[in-house]
Copies of this chain bind each other. A is one copy, B any other.
Amino acid sequence: QAKFVIYIYSIYQTPLSRATYNQTHSCGELRTAHLGEEVTLCGWVQYVRQDLFVILRDFSGLTQILIPQDESRLVLKKTLCDLPLESVIMVRGKVRRRPEGQENKAILTGEIEVHANNVEVLNICQKLPFEIKDFVKKSEGLRMQYRYLDLRSSQMQYNLRLRSRLVMKMREYLCNLHGFVDVETPTLFKRTPGGAKEFVVPSGEPGRFYSLPQSPQQFKQLLMVAGIDRYFQLARCYRDEGSKPDRQPEFTQVDIEMSFTDQAGIRDLVEGLLQYSWPEEKGFVSPPFPVMTYEEAMRDYGVDKPDTRFEMKLVDISGAFHNTQIQFLREALHQPGGSIQAICVPQGAVSSTHMHFSFSHLPSDNFGPCVRLLPDVSRQQLLQMVGAEPGDLILLTAGTEGRRPLLGRLRLQCADLLEGHSVKVRDPSAFHFLWVVDFPLFLPKEDSPEQLESAHHPFTAPVPEDAHLLYSQPHKVRGQHYDLVLNGSEIGGGSIRIHSASEQRHVLDTVLQEDPSLLSHLLEALDSGAPPHGGIALGLDRLLAIIVGASSIRDVIAFPKSFRGHDLMSHAPDFVSEEDLRPYHIKVTWPEGLTPGGEDQ
């Protein structure tokens, strides 16, 4: 049944036969192997040096062009020397070895130069708000306003091209190697229950709105019912989250769903996917990834997405304080579920002067040199328990389990602070993947804790051993949800789904007390021969940001929005006239004090 196909992968293509411009090479391509060849290059003027050389740039690199110096070509020389930076030219010429001593080892084309015979100016750059040089720092606002210039930088070229390459490998793995079907699902959909963060799109019918989906969750499950046994899509998703840091109103997920599988099946698939598509210059991915339960993660790291690149785990040191006289510790231990937890920060005491300030916002009675108050024996026990060495700093919290996340955040802050003082904590080139599993299926609602809400979404199936508890003690049920964590960031999440209509109806109706009529089409679908199925969604933007080491996902998106959701280049969102809104039967309700319109109206 298998068919073999051989194809050629090349980062640069052979020039198309009839192209006018007839580029023969890219600007990063020429080597001494090309000496003597007649070549044609197209690119941007990076700079002009000594009235002798034009340095020509494209995405692939730089080539030095020697400007003809003979009397007969003074016009050409003058044109080139007067050219504004970033003008676009085409150069025809011969590849020559650079004179001895003039080689440039810093660039790959540094042994050659092109002696220009003919230069054509394709476009003169009239305006340049900033220079396209990697060392020129630009403000974020300027970068966004002139994104088309910002994208010329070698870092952004790398990021966008890496994104394309990674996604292509993912598709090869899913489509060509594993029989997945790439299916596009609609963007114009219906508001989902509780979809408070969904953008609405007015339709031509009064009062009726589409909404932009936060994920293709319903569609991917319906595709399983439809017999598309292996679905994937690079899905655009929408979430109206206002000004949350480093979120975008639209983002992309690698959306996957399979029939007749289980958690381990999805994990295997995703591990293979990342291994196959991982950029080779970033090392290797080695499956299987470690698996940790939610409980273990909270216990050892105080967070459900542990950064496992470094230790400093939380340690329960209650044992060292059995007979403590320290009031607040004793009280903490006597609470139901109370304990004392610690992390040991290697060399933290040495750097503690600097670190002190950032802790000042914590309740002061949790901190301080209280260890001095301990008897010598338990002090020794404590040091042993946390494995402290001289110079280390031990941080404690005392209280119920709810205190663990505090220590979890301190752990990360300490790592940042230490690294700020050049103490090596994490290997910046390391990629630590981790599966977190066995999440609770339901959580108490924040505003009314007697009610339950889904920890992830209402379609997650219970862990089989816990399924019977759905009908008696739903708060105790663990879900078949799994998160994929990379270097302490959640880069994916998914679950095995409920495929029984009656179980799904029970969850919606009885446990969550939601109106199941909003999902009647899904319930009907489950009743018409739904196979067991599960899936996952990987956050592509976040994954890429981690791979390239970007501090924001904006650096891996071609045209991102600003923090406030604005496109600073085109000025979206923008005012729309009343007349243009009329076909949609809507009207702007201007808040008091604000007058309609602006300069755009």
Contact = CB atoms under 8 A, between A and B. Distances in A.
A390 to B, nearest CB: 47
B151 A191 contact: no
A181 interface: yes
A11 B1 contact: yes
Interface residues of A, number: 154
A10 interface: yes
A489 to B, nearest CB: 21
Interface in A1-39: 1-13, 16-21, 23, 29
Interface string A240-269: 101000000110100000011110110011
B164 A181 contact: yes
Given A11-B179, A90-B260, A210-B573, 10 more contacts: A2-B8, A17-B268, A23-B260, A147-B226, A167-B182, A188-B250, A191-B580, A199-B202, A240-B583, A587-B588
B175 A164 contact: yes
Interface string A89-123: 01000000000000000000000000000000011
A589 interface: yes
A16 B534 CA distance: 14
Interface in A184-236: 184-191, 196, 199-212, 218-219, 222-223, 225-229, 234, 236
A200 B581 contact: yes
Contacts of A249: 188
Contacts of A236: 184, 187, 236
A401 interface: no
Contacts of A516: none
A362 interface: no
A587 B590 contact: no
Nearest to A2: B10
A219 B560 CA distance: 12
Interface in A373-425: none
Interface stretch (A336-344, A467-475, A522-530): A522-530
A177 B429 CA distance: 31
Contacts of A262: 18-21
Contact of A168 (B175, B201, B212, B588): B175
A234 to B, nearest CB: 8
A206 B594 contact: yes
A163 B582 CA distance: 38
B200 A576 contact: yes
B528 A189 contact: no
A160 interface: yes
A304 interface: no
Contacts of A453: none
Contacts of A242: 204
Interface string A259-303: 111101100110000000000000000000000000000000000
Nearest to A145: B521
B260 A127 contact: no
Contacts of A531: 42, 88, 122-123
A464 to B, nearest CB: 10
A73 to B, nearest CB: 24
A443 interface: no
Contacts of A5: 7-9
A597 interface: yes
A226 B9 CA distance: 24
28 contacts: A1-B29, A3-B10, A6-B6, A12-B179, A13-B179, A19-B262, A42-B259, A58-B227, A59-B228, A86-B528, A87-B529, A88-B532, A123-B532, A148-B225, A149-B226, A164-B182, A186-B559, A186-B561, A190-B570, A199-B202, A201-B201, A204-B242, A206-B588, A209-B575, A211-B572, A219-B558, A219-B559, A236-B236
Nearest to A212: B201
Interface string A541-554: 00000000000000
Contacts of A160: 181, 183, 228
Contact of A86 (B150, B240, B261, B529): B529
A571 interface: yes
A582 to B, nearest CB: 8
Given A10-B177, A88-B531, A590 B585 contact: yes
B530 A123 contact: yes
A222 B530 contact: no
A529 B88 contact: yes
A53 interface: no
Nearest to A57: B227
A583 B528 CA distance: 38
A79 B561 CA distance: 57
Contacts of A586: 202, 586-589
Contact of A264 (B18, B180, B557, B575): B18
A178 B13 CA distance: 5
A563 interface: no
A125 B558 contact: no
A8 to B, nearest CB: 6
